[in-house]
Amino acid sequence: MLTIGKLAGAARVKVPTIRYYEQIGLLPQPERSAGNQRLYDRAMLDRLAFIRHARDLGFPIEAIRDLLSLSDGPDQPCAAADSIAKIQLADVEARIARLVALKAELERMLAQCAGGCIADCRVIEVLGDHSLCTGEHRLQDAAPVM
């Protein structure tokens, strides 16, 4: 049995992350020692490693919840898991497309800058007037403008 600190080290996550996953139900509540210390078995380490890997691949929490539920029934067909992964792949491809557009716009902006003084700086000018951009490159993941 592992304590929460040992589990965190083995899974390469922070202790508050484990507590959060327990709080939102991704990890079941662990057994407790006589001294009320959390105790985890190998199955919990495997589940936490699954969650961490899914997060590393960008899966949202609800998708991970669904994947964990599917993994709890190993005799089920994997069509539902494939569907969840396809949705994630489409999201990644859309983010890549936005990043490629962003890269192109930044390269264009820099190529047009003469390197003189700020009063003539194309970078400052374009950042101040979005209409000077050539395409849509706004990252939807960015924080909204207040």
Output the pLDDT for position 123: 80
Place of tokens 């962003």: 102
Instruction: Quote the CA–CA distance of 133 and 126 in Å, as a whole number.
Output: 7
Residue found by looking up tokens 């202790």 in the block:
15
Of 101, 124, 123, 128, whose CA–CA distance to 111 is shortest? Answer: 123
pLDDT tens profile 59-83:
999 999 999 999 988 898 999 999 9
Domain 4-71 has CATH 3.30.465.10: no
**CA pair distance 28, 106, nearest whole angstrom:** 46
Residue 87 pLDDT = 97
Paired residues of 39 in beta bridges: 31
Domain boundaries, the chain: 4-71, 79-132
Give the span between the Cα atoms of 104 and 134, in whole angstroms. Answer: 9
pLDDT score recorded for residue 122 = 75
The predicted structure's pLDDT at residue 145 = 47
Burial, 20: exposed, middle or buried (Cβ in 10 Å; 0-12, 13-18, 19+)?
A: middle
Of 67, 33, 39, give the one whose Cα is nearest residue 51. Answer: 67
pLDDT of residue 137: 61
Give per-residue pLDDT as tens, 6-63: 999 999 999 999 999 999 999 999 999 888 899 999 999 999 999 999 999 999 999 9
Phi (first) and psi of residue 24, to 5 degrees: -95, 5
E-strand ranges in 1-146 read: 31-32, 38-39
Predicted confidence (pLDDT) per residue in 70-127, tens digit: 998 889 899 999 999 999 999 999 999 999 998 988 888 888 877 778 777 778 887 8
Reported as type and span, the H/E element at residue 94 is: helix 79-111
pLDDT at 121: 79
Does residue 141 surpass a pLDDT of 50? Answer: no
